[in-house]
Structure 1
Amino acid sequence: MATTTIGPLIPVAANPRSQNGSQRFPADHPILSFLDEHNTLTTADLKRIHARMLRFDLLRHPYAASRLLTSFALSPSRNLPYALRLFDQIPHPNLYSWNILIRSLASSPLPYLSLHLFSRMLTSSPHSPDRFTFPFVIKAAAELEMLGEGSALHGLVIKSPFHSDVFILNSLVHFYAVCGCLDLSRQVFDFIPQKDVVSWNSMITALVRADRCNDALELFKAMEQSGFAPNDVTMVSLLSACGKKGNLELGWWMHSYIKQNGIKQCLILNNAILDMYAKCGSSADASLLFNSMKKKDSISWTTMLVAYAKSFEFDAARRVFDEMPHRDTAVWNALISGYEQNGRPKDALAAFNELRDVAKLEPDELTFVAALSACSQLCALESGKRIHSHLKSNSFVLNYHLATALIDMYSKCGDLENAVEVFRSVNKRDVFVWSSMIAGLAMHGRGMEAMDLFKEMQVAKVKPNHVTFTNILSACSHAGLVEEGRMYFTKMLPLYGIAPQIEHYGCMADILGRAGRLEEARELIKSMPFQPPASAWGALLGACVVHGDVLLGELACHKLLELEPRNDGAYVLLSNLYAKAGRWEDVGRLRKSMRDQGLKKEPGCSSMEVDGVIHEFLVGDASHPLSERIYKKLEEMTERLKAVGYEANRTQLLQNVEDEVGKEHALSLHSEKLAIAYGLISVRETMAIRINKNLRICEDCHSVGKLISDVYGREILIRDRYRFHHFKQGRCSCKDYW
C-alpha cells in the first residue's frame, strides 16, 4: 500500500482502503497507529494530522475522532481551545470523547468549562455519565468550590448505577472537604462500602487541612486497625499534621515508622519530613536528613533555609542560600521572609535590595509583602514609600495581600493619612483589609474613627472575624472607651457568631485596667471559660503599675510567673511598681532574683530611618558615629527644657540612686532621648522625627517628647510596643492615656 508523509516523520495512508478494496476499519488506520506510537508530537504535527483525517473523512468515526481529541487534550503539547473546536466538529462523539474533554477542562485554568460541557452532555448527548465522568466533573466543582453544583452532582451519583463506586465517592470526600463541609465529607467517607487506601488518605488529608490534626491521627490508627497499610501519601499528610501541631516527638515517631515499615522515601516524602522538622524547630534533625538526601530539589533547599531561619541560625541559612544550585525569586522570598518573620527586619530589607540591585530579579507579590512587613517593624517609612512607588510604576494591582501590607506599613510608620488613602483606593476589600485599617486607627488612638469604620464595614456587608474584634477592642482600649468596648465584647457571640477567645478577653482586661477598674479586670480574668493566659495577667500587672496598686500588682505578677517563670517583663513591671511606691528594698530583691536566674531586662532600643539608613540607639549608647554631636544636642535639650520648667520624673528609675544629679543623668540616657537628639541634628525641620521603641515609653520620656515638640517646634512620632505617641505643640495624641 502506498503512503505519503505529513512532515518528515508522519506516515499516512494515501488511500483508506485495504488491498482487497474494502473500507479500512479506523482502529488499524496508519494515522491512528502513529498517534499511539508517538506521544511527543507538536501542535503543528497534530494539526497536519487533523487535516489529513478530514480529507479521509475519519472524524465521522467516533473512535478515530476520540484518538485525535486525546492528543490535543492530554498530550504534553495540549491545546485546549483547539480541542474544543475539534470536539464540535465530531458528528457523533462517543462517551470516551466526552470524558476526555471533561477531564482535561477540569484540570485547566478554566474548570467551569468542564461543568458547562457536562451540562451539555446531559442535555444533548445520548450518553449517560459513567464511573469515569463523575470524578472529573466533581473535581471541577472542587476547584471552583461550588458547593451547590457539587451537591447536585452528588444527587446524580446517588441515582446512578455508580452510587457505591469507591472512585466517585473518594472524589466527593475531597470535594466536600475543599468546600469546608468536613462533616459531609466524613459522612461520605463513612458510607463507602469498600474503602481503599485512597479513601483513607482523602479523609486524613481533609482533616489535616482543616487543622483537625488530632482527628487525623485518630483516623490513621483506625486505618491501621482496619488492615490498610499506609503509603507515602498517608505519611505526607500526617507529617503535615505533626508540623502544624509543632509536636517534635510525634514527628520523630512518624519518621521512625516510615523507616520500620519500609515506606519508600521518595523526594516528596523526604521534603515532607524536612518540612515537619523545620516547623517543629529542629534544624539539627532537618540538617541530618538534608545531608543524607541523594536527590534534592528547590523545595528541599528552601525548606532547609527556612529551618535554619526559624532556629535563628541566620549564618547557616545564608550559607544554604549561597550554596543553592539555582536561586529564583521564590528562593529569595524564603530568605527575605526568614529574616522578616524571625526578628531580623534590617537583614530582610538588605536582602530585598540585593534581590533587585545585585541579582537583577523582579520581586513578586510575596517579596513585596515581606519587604513591607520589614518596613513596618523598623518604622522605615522612606523605604516603604519607595516600595509603594515601585508598585505604582509597575502597575501592580493592589489585591488583598498587598493592600493589607501597605496599610499596615503606613500605619506602623506613623503615616496614617497615606494608610487611609491606600484603603480608600482599593475597590474590593476583604475582612483583612478592613481589619488592618481598624488596627491602624487603633494604634494611633483614634477609637471613635475605628468604630465608625467598623460600622462602615458592616454597611459594606463584610463579615468581621476574630481579628477584627481584637482590633476594635484594642481601639477602645487605647482611647479609653470602656462602655463601647464592653458593648462589642458582649455582642460578639450573639450578634456575630464569634465566641470571644483568649485575645479578646485579654483586650477587655486591658480596657478595664487602663481605665482604673482593676477589680473588674480581675473578676473578668477569673471568669474566663479557659485558663487565663499570661497576656491577661500581664495587662492587669501593667494597669496596676499605672494606677499604683501594689497588692493586686503582686498577685498579677505571681500568676504571670506561674505561667511563664522566665518572663523578664513581669519582674520589670513589678520593679516599676515598687519603685513608684519607693520600696527600694523590694526592687533590689527582684533584681537579685533576676540575676540568680540568669534573667536580664530586655534593653530599651530606639531606632529611626534617615535617608534610607536605620540608626539604632541603646540606653547610654556611645557607638554612633555622630555620638559626640548627639550628646551635645542632648545637653542643649536638657538646658532648654529646664528653662521652661522641666523636672525629671525620678520614679521611672529601677534602682535607688542616692545622688539627685545621678538620677537625672540616668534618665537623660534613655534610648528615645538619644534618638530625639539625633533626629534634631539630622532630620530636616519640615519633616517629622519618627522613632520606633521596642518597649513601652516611660513617663519621663513622654513628658520630654511633649516639651521638645513645643520648645523646638518639631513633630515627633514615637511608636512604642503598644501604640503611637504623636507629639505636636506640647501635646500628645494619646492625651496622656496610655
Structure 2
Amino acid sequence: MAMVHAAVTAPPSHLPHAISNSDSFTHHRRLLLFLNSCTCMSQLKQLHAQTIRTTSSHHPNTFFLYSRILHFSSLHDLRYAFRVFHQIENPNSFMWNALIRACARSTDRKQHAIALYHRMLEQGSVMQDKHTFPFVLKACAYLFALSEGEQIHAQILKLGFDSDVYINNSLVHFYATCDRLDFAKGVFDRMSERSLVSWNVVIDAFVRFGEFDAALNLFGEMQKFFEPDGYTIQSIANACAELALQLFHRMPKRDVTSWNSMILGFSTMARWRPHWNILVAWAAGIFDVMVTEYKIKPELEHYGCLVDLLARAGLIDEALDVVSNMPMRPDLVIWRSLLDACCKQNAGVELSEEMASRVLEAEGVFVAVFMCCCPEYMPQLAGGTMLGWLGN
C-alpha cells in the first residue's frame, strides 16, 4: 500500500520509474490513480504518452484509462480531446457523450456536437443513451437548429426515452428557445414525471414570450408540488414587473404615489434578484421620465427609493451622488440604507464611520447603528470615533 501511495504522490516526471517493475494489474491501477489526481494538461499528456508506451490496447483496463484521458481533456483542451477520441477503436457511449457534452458547452464548437451525434447514429456501433440527448439538444437550442432538434426528438420517442424527466426538460427548453412555445407546452403537458426544473423551464418560457398570466397560473399550480426556488422567483418577478409596467403605462394619470410605487417596487426586488443592473436601469429610467417628461417634483420618498436601490446594488458612490444632489436634507432611512450597504459590500471603515455619524446626526439614536453594522466593523467602530459620538 505504501508503494501505491508513493506512486500517486510522486510528480508526473517520476512516473516511468515508479511503474517500470509493476505487474499489469498494478500498472493500470497506478496509471488510473495518477489520472484521477491529474491537475493540468501537461500532466495528462505525460500520462497519455505513458499509457500508449506501456499498455496493451487489448487489455480491458486500457479502455477505461482512455475514457478517463478523454474525459479530462474534454474539459480542458477540446482539440486534444478530439485527437484522443480518434485514436480509440470503437469508443463507447461514455466517450461519445463526453465529447458531445464538451462541444455543446464550448463557445465555438456547438455545431460539432450535432455533427458528432449524427456520426454516432451513422456508425451504429453504440446506441444513444439518456445522457446523450440533453447535451445535443442544448447545442440545438443555442444554434436555433429546430429541424435537427425535431429529428432528435423523433429518435428519443423511437428509443423510448420520452418518459425521462431530464430529457423532457431539455426538450421544453429547446422548443421554447426556438420560438415554439406550443411544442414546449405540449412536451410539458405529456410529462409523466416533473421536477422543479421542469416547472421553472416552462414558467420562464411563458414569461419570455410575454404570456404573463399563463406563467402566473403555472406558478400557482407548481406550488401544489414544489416550493419555488430562486429561479422560479426570478421568472415570476419578471412577469409581475412587466405586468406592473403595462398597467403603469395604461394609467391615464400618474400621480406621486404611482411613480413612487414603481420605483419602490424595483428597489424591493433588488434585495434578492441577481440581475440588479437591469433593475437599476429601469428604476433610474422611471425616475428620469418622471422628472423630465412629466415635470413631477421628486419628494424625499422618491430619492429614498432610488438611493436604496443603488445601495443594495453595491453602487455606493452613485448613491452618494444622488444624496449630494438632493434639494432636501436626507433622513434617517436614507443614511441607514447607505450604512447597511457599506457593511454588506465590505466598504472601508472610514466610509462606514461616516455613514454611522450621519445616522446619529439624523436621529441621535445609536442602537440602530450597531444593529446595521457587520461584526467585522464592530471593533473598529467601537474603538474609534464611534465611542466619541456615543460619549457626546
TM-score normalised according to structure 1 size: 0.35
Alpha-carbon distance in structure 2 between the residues aligned to 1:94 and 1:14: 32
Alpha-carbon distance in structure 1 between the residues aligned to 2:174 and 2:223: 24
1:243 to 241, 244, 265: 241
Tell me how far 1:5 sits from its aligned partner: 9.2
Post-superposition Cα deviations, 1:438-465, rounded to whole Å, max 9, x if no partner, equal: xxxxxxxxxxxxxxxxxxxxxxxxxxxx
CA contact (8 A) 2:16 2:50 kept: no
Alpha-carbon distance in structure 1 between the residues aligned to 2:34 and 2:110: 31
Alpha-carbon distance in structure 2 between the residues aligned to 1:143 and 1:131: 20
Alpha-carbon distance in structure 1 between the residues aligned to 2:160 and 2:101: 20
Please state whether the residue corresponding to 1:206 is helix, strand or coil: helix
Alpha-carbon distance in structure 1 between the residues aligned to 2:317 and 2:21: 56
Structure 2 partner of 1:177: 176
Structure 1 partner of 2:64: 63
The count of residues paired between Structure 1 and Structure 2 equals 285
Tell me how far 1:239 sits from its aligned partner: 1.3
Tell me how far 1:62 sits from its aligned partner: 2.2
Matched residue type, 1:132: H
Structure 2 partner of 1:33: 33
Structure 1 partner of 2:283: 307
Judged with a 3 Å threshold, the aligned counterparts in structure 2 of structure 1 residues 191 and 7 are, in CA distance, closer, same or farther, namely same
1:12 to 10, 15, 31: 15
Which blocks of at least 5 consecutive residues in structure 1 are unaligned? Answer: 250-278, 328-738
Matched residue type, 2:69: L
1:93 to 91, 94, 110: 91
Tell me how far 1:308 sits from its aligned partner: 2.7
Larger relative strand fraction: 1
Tell me how far 1:82 sits from its aligned partner: 1.3
Alpha-carbon distance in structure 1 between the residues aligned to 2:269 and 2:213: 26
What are the within-5 Å matches in structure 2 for residues 601-616 of structure 1? none
Tell me how far 1:287 sits from its aligned partner: 4.0
Structure 2 partner of 1:284: 264
Q: 1 or 2 for the larger relative contact order (CA 8 Å, sep ≥6)? A: 2
Alpha-carbon distance in structure 1 between the residues aligned to 2:139 and 2:112: 9
Which blocks of at least 5 consecutive residues in structure 2 are unaligned? Answer: 248-258, 292-302, 319-392
Post-superposition Cα deviations, 1:573-604, rounded to whole Å, max 9, x if no partner, equal: xxxxxxxxxxxxxxxxxxxxxxxxxxxxxxxx
Structure 1 partner of 2:110: 111
Post-superposition Cα deviations, 1:493-545, rounded to whole Å, max 9, x if no partner, equal: xxxxxxxxxxxxxxxxxxxxxxxxxxxxxxxxxxxxxxxxxxxxxxxxxxxxx
Judged with a 3 Å threshold, the aligned counterparts in structure 2 of structure 1 residues 32 and 215 are, in CA distance, closer, same or farther, namely same
CA contact (8 A) 2:19 2:30 kept: no
Larger Rg computed on CA atoms:
1
Judged with a 3 Å threshold, the aligned counterparts in structure 2 of structure 1 residues 307 and 168 are, in CA distance, closer, same or farther, namely same
Post-superposition Cα deviations, 1:47-105, rounded to whole Å, max 9, x if no partner, equal: 2222222222377622111111111112xxx1111111111112232211111111111
Matched residue type, 1:66: S
Post-superposition Cα deviations, 1:105-149, rounded to whole Å, max 9, x if no partner, equal: 111122110011111111225210001111111111111111111
2:226 to 220, 225, 228: 228
CA contact (8 A) 2:137 2:171 kept: yes
Matched residue type, 1:70: H
What are the within-5 Å matches in structure 2 for residues 254-265 of structure 1? none
Alpha-carbon distance in structure 1 between the residues aligned to 2:88 and 2:261: 58
Tell me how far 1:281 sits from its aligned partner: 6.9
Please state whether the residue corresponding to 1:12 is helix, strand or coil: helix
Cα RMSD, aligned residues only: 3.8
Matched residue type, 2:66: A
CA contact (8 A) 1:99 1:132 kept: yes
Structure 2 partner of 1:210: 209
Judged with a 3 Å threshold, the aligned counterparts in structure 2 of structure 1 residues 185 and 304 are, in CA distance, closer, same or farther, namely same
Matched residue type, 1:282: M
Judged with a 3 Å threshold, the aligned counterparts in structure 2 of structure 1 residues 57 and 307 are, in CA distance, closer, same or farther, namely farther
Alpha-carbon distance in structure 2 between the residues aligned to 1:159 and 1:118: 16
Tell me how far 1:178 sits from its aligned partner: 1.0
Tell me how far 1:233 sits from its aligned partner: 1.8
Judged with a 3 Å threshold, the aligned counterparts in structure 2 of structure 1 residues 58 and 176 are, in CA distance, closer, same or farther, namely farther
Structure 2 partner of 1:396: none
Alpha-carbon distance in structure 2 between the residues aligned to 1:104 and 1:310: 43
Alpha-carbon distance in structure 1 between the residues aligned to 2:120 and 2:184: 27
Post-superposition Cα deviations, 1:187-231, rounded to whole Å, max 9, x if no partner, equal: 111111122212211111111111111111111122223x23222
Judged with a 3 Å threshold, the aligned counterparts in structure 2 of structure 1 residues 90 and 13 are, in CA distance, closer, same or farther, namely same
Judged with a 3 Å threshold, the aligned counterparts in structure 2 of structure 1 residues 238 and 129 are, in CA distance, closer, same or farther, namely same
Tell me how far 1:181 sits from its aligned partner: 1.1
Judged with a 3 Å threshold, the aligned counterparts in structure 2 of structure 1 residues 11 and 70 are, in CA distance, closer, same or farther, namely farther
The percent of aligned pairs where both chains have the same amino acid is 32
Please state whether the residue corresponding to 1:91 is helix, strand or coil: coil
1:52 to 47, 50, 53: 50
CA contact (8 A) 1:73 1:101 kept: yes
CA contact (8 A) 2:280 2:310 kept: yes
Matched residue type, 1:73: S
What are the within-5 Å matches in structure 2 for residues 267-278 of structure 1? none
Judged with a 3 Å threshold, the aligned counterparts in structure 2 of structure 1 residues 177 and 308 are, in CA distance, closer, same or farther, namely same
Judged with a 3 Å threshold, the aligned counterparts in structure 2 of structure 1 residues 213 and 24 are, in CA distance, closer, same or farther, namely same
Matched residue type, 1:133: T
Alpha-carbon distance in structure 1 between the residues aligned to 2:267 and 2:227: 29
Structure 2 partner of 1:123: 122
Matched residue type, 2:103: L
Structure 1 partner of 2:321: none
Post-superposition Cα deviations, 1:537-583, rounded to whole Å, max 9, x if no partner, equal: xxxxxxxxxxxxxxxxxxxxxxxxxxxxxxxxxxxxxxxxxxxxxxx
CA contact (8 A) 2:32 2:65 kept: yes
CA contact (8 A) 2:90 2:125 kept: no
Tell me how far 1:12 sits from its aligned partner: 2.9
Alpha-carbon distance in structure 2 between the residues aligned to 1:326 and 1:171: 43
Tell me how far 1:248 sits from its aligned partner: 10
Please state whether the residue corresponding to 1:246 is helix, strand or coil: helix
Alpha-carbon distance in structure 1 between the residues aligned to 2:9 and 2:27: 21
CA contact (8 A) 1:13 1:30 kept: no
Matched residue type, 1:193: S
Matched residue type, 1:105: C
Structure 2 partner of 1:200: 199
Matched residue type, 2:72: S
Structure 1 partner of 2:185: 186
Matched residue type, 1:34: F
Post-superposition Cα deviations, 1:139-180, rounded to whole Å, max 9, x if no partner, equal: 111111111111111111111032211111111111111111
Alpha-carbon distance in structure 2 between the residues aligned to 1:280 and 1:18: 79
Larger relative helix fraction: 2
CA contact (8 A) 1:201 1:234 kept: yes
